[in-house]
Structure 1
Amino acid sequence: MDYAKLTEDLKAAQREVWLVTGEMEDGGTANLDKVFLTLPRAHEAKVLEAIRNAGLYCRAKRRWIGDGYMLTVSKGQGDVNTKAVTVFVAEMERRGYEVLAYRQMD
């Protein structure tokens, strides 16, 4: 696993989020949507460091649909958060990562 590349890919996905959500109104239903990133056989401490170095938040590896990392990719609460997760997932998939959108209304 190339952790420097992971950091750069996370940063690139976050830039896409900012481009799309920068001017959005944050209406709609408040939600706890997150990005679930699966990285089999990756070293947890190094993944968490890459996530932090990309300016994102993840508390720790967790179990949802397998083992992975639940990422916060937006400071939005409603529509902005929903769109941010959608854009981030699409960009990370485009870059070859196994990633899912976790959706939960508050």
Structure 2
Amino acid sequence: MNTIKHTEYKHNGSRVILDTCELAPGKYETMLLYPNGHEIACRTARTEADAIADFDELLTAYPADTKPAAPKPLTGKYAKLRDDLRKVYEIGKAAAAQVEDGGTCNLDAPSLLLPRWQSAKIEQACKEAGCGCFEWKCFNRRWVICFHIPGQAYKRETAAEVMTKALADMGYDALTYCAID
């Protein structure tokens, strides 16, 4: 058996192998299969040119996944969330700058209850606001908003509490997430 053409790629989110080989003189086979050996498609040919044409046809019929498109611009409540997070970040940095950084190191941060909001758009809003987030399922489905605050103890605690209050004043159901590092 002699491989003539070979490629591996992702199709519909799964890794696949496309291979054309000469099994014997005048007998060619082109197969598209999963790495575990399960066959997706198979074609046989009598000439190398026909086998390569089969390869190209299968590659067209089962194309490689393309990169996901850039996310759509945020609108409505998601754009407002992004803009509000940018504002409270500045408020938190200013509050942290006013205190000494003594005490216990922590990962305190504001958290928001955002029922029926889309996770991907919340994450996009946070990313565009210059922060991160994660889902906290201890009290319903809350989102902990992770800002980069200079400091690791009282500065973080102060910033988290001030940002939580600012978010509550903006109309969000906000709660301070507290965690000792």
Q: Tell me, in whole angstroms, the C-alpha distance in 1 between the residues paired with 2:107 and 2:168.
A: 21
Q: Which residue of 2 aligns with 1:68?
A: 142
**3-state DSSP class of the match of 1:96?**
coil
Cα offset, 1:32, TM superposition: 2.1
Give unmatched runs, 5+ long, in structure 2.
1-75
TM-score, normalised on structure 2?
A: 0.54
Q: How does 1:1-106 map to 2 (within 5 A)?
A: 2-58=77-133, 60-73=134-147, 74-106=149-181
Aligned length: 105
Q: Distance in 2 between matches of 1:12 and 1:44?
A: 21
**More displaced 10-residue stretch of structure 1: 47-56 or 67-76:** 67-76
AA at the equivalent of 2:118:
H
1:75 Cα deviation after fit: 4.0
What stretches of structure 1 move > 2 A for 4+ residues in a row? Answer: 22-25, 73-76
Structure number with larger C-alpha Rg: 2
Higher relative contact order (CA 8 A, sep 6+): 1
Could you report, residue by residue, the CA deviation over 1:25-60 in whole angstroms, capped at 9, with x for unpaired residues?
3211111212221111111100110011111111x3
Structure 1 portions without partners, runs of 5+: none
Give the percent of matched residue pairs that are identical in Structure 1 and Structure 2: 31
For residues 77-97 of structure 1, the C-alpha deviation after alignment (integer angstroms, 9 at most, x for no partner) is: 100010010010000000000
Aligned-residue CA RMSD (Å): 1.5
Give me the TM-score of the superposition, normalised by structure 1: 0.89
> Hey, which of these two has a bigger chunk of helix by percent?
1
